[in-house]
Amino acid sequence: MLHFLAATLLVSQSVLQAQSTASVYGRWKTDDHKAVVTIGACGPSLCGRISKVLDKVPAVPETDINNPNPDMRNRPIIGLPVLSGFKRDGREWTGGRAYDPKTGNSYRAKLALNEDGSLKVTGCILFVCRSKRWTREP
């Protein structure tokens, strides 16, 4: 009986770990390794906020200075929403927006997990799209 319970616990734990790694929820290092974005639920949709700045160059701004809206340029970088409005659509998260604080630009975007567990973040302007590969932060 004890072996059965131990085996059941191990299988359950493995399933939970597989589910957590198969989710876009969590902490992700951006493709340029300059920030960590935490992705999770925001009401009925999915969003992501900068949770850590990894870039240690002295000129890294502490606020959203490149935002096209002058009233938003004082927002702190930590906690800044960079992904918003995503809804699950099969194997992807679509209908969202990605904001790039380096340029102040916002893009139509979608998210999808790659087979290696990395996250494909695709941003589009009109019909031109570009994808970035984010890696899961331990």
Task: Fill in the DSSP letter of residue 71.
Answer: G
Which residues, 6 or more positions from 3, have their beta carbon under 8 angstroms from its beta carbon?
A: none
Domain span holding position 57: 25-136
DSSP strand E in the chain: where? 26-29, 35-42, 45-53, 81-89, 92-100, 105-113, 119-125, 128-136
| CATH code for position 60 | 2.40.128.520
Mean pLDDT, contiguous 10-residue spans, the chain (138 residues): 40 39 89 96 96 89 96 97 96 96 96 97 95 95
52 domain residue, yes or no: yes
Specify if 14 maps to a domain: no
The number of distinct structural domains making up the chain is 1
* 18 inside domain: no
pTM over 0.95: no
